[in-house]
Amino acid sequence: MARPQRFIDDEGKRLDGRKPDEIRPVKMQVGVLSNADGSALVEYGLTKVLAAVYGPKESQKSISLPDRASLRVRYHMAPFSTEERKNPAPSRREVELSKVLRESLEPIVITDYFPRTSIDIFIEVLQSDGGTRTVGATAASLALADAGIPMKALVAGVAIGKVDNVLIVDLNEVEDMYGDADMPIVAAPDLGQITLYQLNGVLSKEEFHNAIDMAMKVINKLVDIEKETLRNSYKEAGEE
Amino acid sequence: MSFSLKNDVVVPGEIVAQQEEFVEGEGVYVDQETGFLRSAFLGKIAIDLNNKMISVNTHKKLKLPKKNSIVLCSVSSVKENIIFVDIFGVIVLYPRPKWEHEFSSPLSGAILSNQIGIDKYNDLTEIVKPGDIILAKVISSTNPFNLSLKGPQFGVIYSMCSKCGEVMTPINNDQLKCPKCGNVEKRKISNLATSKLLKIDMKKTIMIPP
Amino acid sequence: MSTTPFRVQIIPKIKKESYLNLYRKGQRADERDFYSPRKISIQTNVLEKANGSSLVKLGNTQVMAGIKIEPGEPFFDTPDQGVLQVHAELVPLASPQFEPGPPDENSIELARVIDRSLRDPKAVDLNSLVIRPGDKVWMIWLDLYILDYDGNLFDASMLAAMAALLTAKMPEYEELETGEIKISKNISNNPIKINKKVVTVTTAKVENYILVDPNLDEEIISDTKSVIAFDEQGNIVGAQKTGMGSLSQEEIDNIINVSSSAAQVYFKLLNDALKSEVKEEKGDK
């Protein structure tokens, strides 16, 4: 993949025709797996992420906490998800993303209901086209709700980037790879809380502020889609 | 209600009422920042006007036993004053015995010697032995789960002969006999183990999880 | 080192007795007859960015196959052949019994049985995958991803592998002056050359009963399983006994017979799925 000359054309459109503040087509589905207690498949454009939740189940002694449930989160990329085949052994990147994703979910899971248990959240990237961790956070949020795990609120994620001096939302792979900044954000709009942010690149103070502002608007919309998806699944389950 | 909810099906984080209006029931938590009552689950709103309580009935029951749940367990070890068990799932007895849910991995439980419901015995191995499948009642609803065997329904359902491994048949409420080698062993036997009809039901439900 | 699985399943022990009662009446718990597989769905091209992909549902078992084709070096002893690499992952989201970690003996056995059953009958024409003999060849990475586990991973994985291989497209590439092979983002319209189709049929033996396409409960109570790979002509192109327990010569004959009829069912479903694939492609244009 070569670096494009320009990321935004004279009409203000991005390489894939989107406006700077426009997200890719979003698809969400819950209850896609039969063994898992909760599951979700989420797509932003070509990025596809599957999440599954097991638990609460009995903790292994080493991770058992007397006053709350512990969360175990694994972010992992399928070998066929990337441009070049990825070795399935977890990379340092996947280890770090598992940690920041767990920490993005800790504030919203009501863990004190279930002392000495653990809740497992498995996030598998099936196809990667930028923003996999943020799509992963959205999928995990849906899978947790689908599993009936008590939550303070739903979260969703989106990445903000900077190309040709313009802030853009929901980077695809090219924009992520060659852009000047990539800032993934996960938030719970119902609570007005941001549960994950990272910055890879350079932004001014003002841009940083605007980026979060931009992300919150999009995350609001994403959580609305989550809510609709969950309500529909409830109705379908009721009809059976 | 000063809130007009668009839906009676709510999702986690959704405001269901203000703190002054209702007290929080199951599935609802108080958002201390704002004083709103919010749902903790995907589920349907239920309002109890007499007690001014608002709850959310969840769409999926969490797979954990609650206080008074009847659970199916296997005995993992028997010590001097305590019986350790692995809990496989929750069972409902009425109108007919069936799984409420089977856990994806077993949970630990313990039965203390004061929760047996029988006064006279020499040692706890006359109550149950490792490997027995038993019915018990949950008396504490946090992990590790404390269980009780008090009551005629609770006790051994299946037991393998300690000599030859065959499934034994109850001959009365505290003895089992091996149909193969004739060995007789002592246990506290659940009255459901001796009911032929219920046992057939039990087998059916053990065989086909929901 | 391979050790006896220590997980003692007590409920299955009781279940086994009840299942056997059903088998004596000629029934199975999910109302199938002994020799019919579960409901199967085969979707192809489920991933836009892979060279080939499929999603197979066999009852509640779900397997995704993804194919990546990359330039590489041939093996020393086969300079004029491309390379086929099969890997399987029992992804932890598929079952409470799967733990994160390096591939265990079960996933390695699964990948190797699939690999052998494709390699030995020369299902993939490896000779057609040469770019510069002895120097550069195509490597086909076939990754099997188990997403939901309700027994019989072998048959579901082989169907997924075959469906992905048969619909995969070779990458477009150019040879740089340095001799390097540079693949472009575009995927060509050229398929991988496939010599023959292969399916596997798994049977479980529970006491003296033989069951085609066992689900998880049936696998747990089974004494042993047999995986037999067939080509479309009915030749046996691979076989593996898996699980504890043993079989008599007579039982093996019987297993071959029932498996070979079940193979025809799989072939029909596979061919139907590929036909509808072709139709969809035409419809798009």
Task: Please list, in sequence order, all residues whose beta carbon lies within 8 angstroms of the beta carbon of residue A60, skipping any fewer than 6 positions away.
Answer: A118
Instruction: Tell whether the torsion through CA atoms of B141, B145, B151 and B157 is positive or negative.
Output: positive
Q: How far is A221 from chain C (nearest CA, A)?
A: 26
Distance CA A31, CA B14 (A): 21
Alpha helices in chain A (DSSP H): 92-105, 132-147, 173-178, 205-239
- B103 band by pLDDT with thresholds 50, 70 and 90: confident
Q: Is the pLDDT of residue C99 over 90?
A: no
Single-letter residue type at A236: E
Q: Is the pLDDT of residue A226 over 80?
A: yes
What are C43-77's pLDDT values in tens digits? 999 999 999 999 999 999 999 999 999 999 999 99
Q: Is B134 in the same domain as B155?
A: yes
Q: Is the pLDDT of residue A94 over 90?
A: yes
Residue B65 lies in a domain: no
Nearest CA among C90, C225, C81, C233 for reference residue C149: C90
What are B10-39's pLDDT values in tens digits? 999 999 999 989 999 999 999 998 999 999
Residues B79-98, mean pLDDT to the nearest whole number: 84
Q: How many CB atoms lie within 10 A of CB C238?
A: 21
3-state secondary structure of A120: strand
Residue B185 lies in a domain: yes
CATH number of the domain where residue B142 is located: 2.40.50.140
Architecture per CATH, C18-284: 2-Layer Sandwich (3.30)
% pLDDT > 90, chain A: 88
Instruction: Tell whether the torsion through CA atoms of C235, C240, C242 and C247 is positive or negative.
Output: positive
Q: Is B12 in the same domain as B93?
A: no
pLDDT at A2: 78
A149 touches chain B (CB under 8 A): yes
A165 touches chain B (CB under 8 A): no
Q: Is C43 exposed, middle or buried (0-12, 13-18, 19+ CB in 10 A)?
A: middle
Residues B89-118, mean pLDDT to the nearest whole number: 82
CB A53 within 8 A of CB A146: yes
Residue A124 lies in a domain: yes
Residue range of the domain that includes B29: 4-57
CATH number of the domain where residue B45 is located: 2.40.50.100
Residues B79-107, mean pLDDT to the nearest whole number: 82
Q: Are strands A200-201 and A181-188 parallel, antiparallel or unpaired?
A: antiparallel
Nearest CA among C26, C209, C61 for reference residue C144: C61
Q: Which residue of A has its CA nearest to C97?
A: A35
Crossing angle of the two packed helices C249-284 and C153-167, in degrees rounded to 10 = 40
3-state secondary structure of A219: helix
Q: What's the count of helices (H) and strands (E) in chain A, helices before strands?
A: 4, 10
pLDDT at A85: 95
Q: Are strands B70-78 and B133-138 parallel, antiparallel or unpaired?
A: antiparallel
Q: Is B96 in the same domain as B122?
A: yes
The ipTM of this complex is 0.91
Number of domains in chain B: 2
What are A186-208's pLDDT values in tens digits? 999 999 999 999 999 999 999 99
Which residues from chain B sit within 8 angstroms of residue C14, using beta carbons?
133, 158, 203, 206-207
Final residue in a domain of this structure, among B13, B30, B57: B57
Residue A2 lies in a domain: no
Which residues from chain A sit within 8 angstroms of residue C141, using beta carbons?
79-80, 85
pLDDT at A123: 98
Q: Is C102 exposed, middle or buried (0-12, 13-18, 19+ CB in 10 A)?
A: exposed
Do residue A58 and residue B143 have CB atoms under 8 angstroms apart? yes
Which residues from chain B sit within 8 angstroms of residue A154, using beta carbons?
11-13
- C18 band by pLDDT with thresholds 50, 70 and 90: confident
Residue A211 lies in a domain: yes
Structure tokens at C175: 């040879």
Of B170-179, B193-202, C32-41, C178-187, which range is least confident?
B193-202
% pLDDT > 70, chain C: 93
DSSP B39-79: ESSSEEEEEETTTTEEEEEESS--SS--TT-EEEEEEEEE-
Mutate to test the interface with A, among B60, B67, B108 (most CBs of A within 10 A): B60
Output phi, psi for A49, to 5 deg: -135, 135
Q: Are strands C40-44 and C83-90 parallel, antiparallel or unpaired?
A: unpaired
pLDDT at C189: 87
Q: Is C172 exposed, middle or buried (0-12, 13-18, 19+ CB in 10 A)?
A: middle
CB C67 within 8 A of CB C165: yes
Q: Taking the C-alpha atoms of B42, B45, B50 and B51 in order, what is their torsion angle to the nearest 10 degrees?
A: 20
A150 touches chain B (CB under 8 A): yes
- Residue C21 vs residues B180, C27, C206: alpha-carbon distances, Å: 19, 9, 12
Residues A167-186, mean pLDDT to the nearest whole number: 96
CATH number of the domain where residue A90 is located: 3.30.230.70
Structure-model confidence comparison of residues B164 and C164, the more confident one: C164
Which residues from chain A sit within 8 angstroms of residue C138, using beta carbons?
none
Of B72-76, C82-86, C158-162, which range is least confident?
B72-76
3-state secondary structure of B95: coil
Q: Is the pLDDT of residue A214 over 80?
A: yes
Q: Is the pLDDT of residue C13 over 90?
A: no
Task: Please list, in sequence order, all residues whose beta carbon lies within 8 angstroms of the beta carbon of residue A137, skipping any fewer than 6 positions away.
Answer: A101, A104, A105, A155, A156, A157, A186, A196
Do residue A230 and residue B142 have CB atoms under 8 angstroms apart? no
Single-letter residue type at C267: F
Q: Is B53 exposed, middle or buried (0-12, 13-18, 19+ CB in 10 A)?
A: middle
How many Cβ contacts (< 8 angstroms) between chains A and B? 94
3-state secondary structure of A50: strand
CB A145 within 8 A of CB A38: yes
Nearest CA among C41, C147, C152, C30 for reference residue C95: C147
Single-letter residue type at A210: N
Q: Which residue of B has its CA nearest to C8?
A: B131
CB B104 within 8 A of CB A38: no
What are C111-143's pLDDT values in tens digits? 999 999 999 999 999 999 999 999 999 999 999
Distance CA A30, CA B189 (A): 44
Distance CA C49, CA C69 (A): 11
Distance CA C195, CA A178 (A): 42
pLDDT at B198: 45
At residue C197's C-alpha, the angle toward residues C193 and C199, to 5°, is 145
Number of domains in chain A: 1
Crossing angle of the two packed helices A92-105 and A132-147, in degrees rounded to 10 = 50
Do residue B31 and residue A191 have CB atoms under 8 angstroms apart? yes
Give chain B's contact residues with C (Cβ, < 8 Å): 74, 88, 102, 104-105, 131, 133, 158, 167, 203-204, 206-208
Do residue B203 and residue C19 have CB atoms under 8 angstroms apart? no
A63 touches chain B (CB under 8 A): no
Q: Is the pLDDT of residue C6 over 60?
A: no
Crossing angle of the two packed helices C10-24 and B196-207, in degrees rounded to 10 = 100
pLDDT at A77: 97
CB C275 within 8 A of CB C249: no
Distance CA A179, CA A176 (A): 6
- A51 band by pLDDT with thresholds 50, 70 and 90: very high
Q: What's the count of helices (H) and strands (E) in chain C, helices before strands?
A: 5, 12
Q: Is B197 in the same domain as B120?
A: yes
Nearest CA among C138, C125, C132 for reference residue C183: C138
Q: Is the pLDDT of residue A54 over 80?
A: yes
Single-letter residue type at B145: F
Which residues from chain A sit within 8 angstroms of residue C62, using beta carbons?
33
pLDDT at C11: 58
Q: Is the pLDDT of residue C281 over 90?
A: no
CB A100 within 8 A of CB A157: no
Residue range of the domain that includes A73: 26-239
Single-letter residue type at C109: E
Contacts 24+ apart (CB under 8 A), B159-163: B159/B129, B159/B131, B159/B132, B159/B133, B159/B185, B159/B187, B160/B131, B160/B132, B161/B185, B162/B129
Residues C83-100, mean pLDDT to the nearest whole number: 92
Q: Is B86 in the same domain as B178?
A: yes
Residue A6 lies in a domain: no
Q: Is the pLDDT of residue C280 over 70?
A: no
Residues C226-239, mean pLDDT to the nearest whole number: 97
Structure tokens at C8: 């003692």
Distance CA C144, CA C142 (A): 7
Residue B105 lies in a domain: yes
Q: How far is B182 from chain C (nearest CA, A)?
A: 21
